Structure 1
């Protein structure tokens, strides 16, 4: 049952509901009936606009009605843990409240060819699942022929086994695995457009800015805030405000803030951006950039922007191994988040690739639930902090292999069964049996869209000078995708501010013409 503090908070959240909602719960005779009904009864008690209806029928699900209309979203199972927010937002979003995609993205969603019927499998301990579920719920509320079910896996193990789900979130369209793993609305929308097709989208008017920032992480947010404060007409184009920060758990090295968490910092960035006249164009991907005195940005979906100055701040993403069998088995045994997908491998053998802090931490965590963990490191020694290495070496069910390179992910046609690895000193290939492969080999810069536009070093980083200027007039870069050393949040923020001030300096000197 919900505690009093949560109930009081929900009363505030639901104080201004306009529509009348019914939570139609089917759980009769289910072993967890009281858990589900109790949760929904507590939620309904927080507003006279919410009514609980207990159905005398089989199943284990909650359906939603708004003013008598059955909504196209369903929750199967108990939405506890991280998915409790999904339940709360389902009601708020259906009432037209909460943070919604802007008009340009809503038009793309509405243009998808229906009917669309999706089922998302999640774990309540998964930190990435709510983003996927909540985005699809919003799409279902926007689109005229879109139905979405969330399945909380604890009470549907046989179904998960039958569908060979080995990682969450997993989004199924019929028998097709449409998506697996973390994603934002932009990722999901592109996959839906590719799978279902799209109709004609109303052409959008070209928008003009003095400064356009691509990327919504700490560097991009800082750059946009600084240029807006200087009176430059500014837009920020991002897949998601916060960027990689959204996937960071504890943050203890952001000076003046002893502790925060990634999602909270991302929310703070959005709140700070909203204090200024900055156009926040979220859930966007830039497909093509035309250079010139004014740069032209062509975005997925047909939107176009022209800008005097362009600041590139798209950060970095998790690096993949790039070996046979890896991409094909993402969500079928290849994973990148031990916290999200680790529970699927309870009492099973797994492999972790990568001997840095993230890899060794993952191996230690997984050793607590898996039958055995094999840690593969390419170098001759682990690169993690000494305290982590000492802990890993003390675990009886953790084997560390050095000077070895993963060469192929093995599967049986439906799921991962192991990995091939080759010794770097003896050139011998060995096969390691495993049900899961966790890839933890660091980050790679998100610079591919800018190849040919600005200079990249062999690592794919954008080459910048001490003022965050690239070799192209009017184009700047900041943060983790540049050659600046030490990929840290506080450094990215400083570099973003520097890029914004450098752009302002170029406007002030007349090197770039400001809009009237």
Structure 2
């Protein structure tokens, strides 16, 4: 019998997603919380060389992160070659809302995404979504997912790699090898984290360098960490990490650009040191990251001895796979009109992947609804076999 162990932390959304995947396919597994169990954390690091979660061990194979493609190969079923009214790419706030509206219009819909919740999953606390005084990103996305699951829709954890046109249909190919045909496509695949752009960055990812503080934060209890960035996400991460870590260095390239509510909370923290006008120039460490070098605007160089660094310097749109299908702006965002239409008939887009200026969950949700309604009207009045 296959032996599966999932190393996770309590608030890691990708850990819970991995467990949900295993539960879906009735795969028994042992779950170890490395945020609370020091020995389990040591074992995970020994097996994977990683200081990040989730880590999934299947017999002798070590899977780092929530690798939906590999887990599908081992335990799941790939989406069959079927024909749908609508293919939704991505399952963040925009994609899940679009799915609900497609479901209400009785459209045969499939949603394909690497995760459920998108970028919103990584929010420690959301305080500006109507109906909630405060809610975590994971809890809010659970509510979205529950509503989608109650409809007759297909939601698959996979990754669309290419989309092409085949006559009157669009064909989406996935990382697991499936082909999905649809009359219309709604693109809501969001963004990917922006990198620091310094030498050896890839070497330290998961080894002291993290892009998900909600996942990896508990591994740095009582340690020295830094957060790079000056926007809302960076300040929110610094504030939350100040409750776990011994000290936090906030490295801001120019000036802080966060909402006043976060600036006020930051000023109240005694164990956060802010370095404005500074950027990271080098990463150091043998097996794991142990120090960063920063340089300020006057050219002064400083070395910070650290155990971990969390990157929060913004995002880049995931549009490479559709660059030949839709119009992009200079930022590689999909250009849409007020209703979510792209320049290509049958393709609609919503959320952070588009050129809509304000990147907010509530705006992405509304735009997802508009894109779904436009897709419905397109199928009703324009689409032809």
Taking the TM superposition and a 5 Å limit, the aligned residue runs for 1:190-201 are: none
Taking the TM superposition and a 5 Å limit, the aligned residue runs for 1:4-403 are: 72-73=2-3, 119-124=5-10, 126-135=12-21, 141=26, 149-153=30-34, 154-156=37-39, 159=43, 165-171=50-56, 178-180=63-65, 183=66, 186=68, 188-189=70-71, 206-278=81-153, 280-291=154-165, 292-379=167-254, 381-393=255-267, 395-403=269-277
Give the superposed CA RMSD: 3.3
Give 1:438 shift.
Answer: 1.2
Which residue does 1:417 correspond to in 2?
290
CA distance in 2, matches of 1:265, 1:454: 31
Contact 1:166–1:332 at 8 Å: present in 2 too? yes
> After superposition, what is the alpha-carbon deviation per residue over 1:255-312, rounded to whole angstroms, capped at 9, x for unaligned?
345554434433333343344443x131121122112532111222222222221111
Which residue does 1:82 correspond to in 2?
none
Contact 1:240–1:282 at 8 Å: present in 2 too? no
Contact 2:238–2:248 at 8 Å: present in 1 too? yes
CA distance in 1, matches of 2:131, 2:78: 46
Which residue does 1:477 correspond to in 2?
349
> After superposition, what is the alpha-carbon deviation per residue over 1:19-66, rounded to whole angstroms, capped at 9, x for unaligned?
xxxxxxxxxxxxxxxxxxxxxxxxxxxxxxxxxxxxxxxxxxxxxxxx
Give 1:335 shift.
Answer: 1.6
Give the greater-gyration-radius structure (CA): 1
Give 1:219 shift.
Answer: 1.7
> After superposition, what is the alpha-carbon deviation per residue over 1:383-441, rounded to whole angstroms, capped at 9, x for unaligned?
123343344345443221111222332221x1101112233x33454332211111122
Contact 1:287–1:299 at 8 Å: present in 2 too? yes
Contact 2:17–2:115 at 8 Å: present in 1 too? no
CA distance in 2, matches of 1:365, 1:285: 31
Contact 1:126–1:340 at 8 Å: present in 2 too? yes
Structure 1 residues 433 and 306: alpha-carbon distance in aligned structure 2, compared to 1, 3 A threshold: same
> After superposition, what is the alpha-carbon deviation per residue over 1:227-246, rounded to whole angstroms, capped at 9, x for unaligned?
34334433222333433334
What is the TM-score normalised by the length of structure 1? 0.65
What is the TM-score normalised by the length of structure 2? 0.84
Give 1:376 shift.
Answer: 0.7
Contact 2:44–2:55 at 8 Å: present in 1 too? no
Secondary structure of 1:416's counterpart equals: coil
Structure 1 residues 345 and 275: alpha-carbon distance in aligned structure 2, compared to 1, 3 A threshold: closer
Work out whether 1:406 is the aligned partner of 2:280: yes
> How many corresponding residue pairs?
380
Contact 1:416–1:434 at 8 Å: present in 2 too? yes
Contact 1:241–1:269 at 8 Å: present in 2 too? no
Give 1:477 shift.
Answer: 0.7
Contact 2:2–2:59 at 8 Å: present in 1 too? no
> After superposition, what is the alpha-carbon deviation per residue over 1:312-344, rounded to whole angstroms, capped at 9, x for unaligned?
111234333232222221221112333443343
Which residue does 1:466 correspond to in 2?
338
CA distance in 1, matches of 2:181, 2:42: 53
Structure 1 residues 266 and 365: alpha-carbon distance in aligned structure 2, compared to 1, 3 A threshold: closer
CA distance in 2, matches of 1:373, 1:240: 29
Structure 1 residues 461 and 242: alpha-carbon distance in aligned structure 2, compared to 1, 3 A threshold: same
Structure 1 residues 245 and 161: alpha-carbon distance in aligned structure 2, compared to 1, 3 A threshold: closer
> After superposition, what is the alpha-carbon deviation per residue over 1:339-390, rounded to whole angstroms, capped at 9, x for unaligned?
44334333432221012222223223333443332211011x2112334334
CA distance in 2, matches of 1:385, 1:486: 14
Contact 2:53–2:64 at 8 Å: present in 1 too? no
Question: Which among 364, 372, 378 is matched to residue 492 of structure 1?
Answer: 364
Contact 1:462–1:470 at 8 Å: present in 2 too? yes
Secondary structure of 2:185's counterpart equals: strand
Structure 1 residues 404 and 174: alpha-carbon distance in aligned structure 2, compared to 1, 3 A threshold: farther
Give 1:478 shift.
Answer: 1.0
Structure 1 residues 327 and 177: alpha-carbon distance in aligned structure 2, compared to 1, 3 A threshold: farther
CA distance in 2, matches of 1:462, 1:295: 17
Give 1:149 shift.
Answer: 4.6
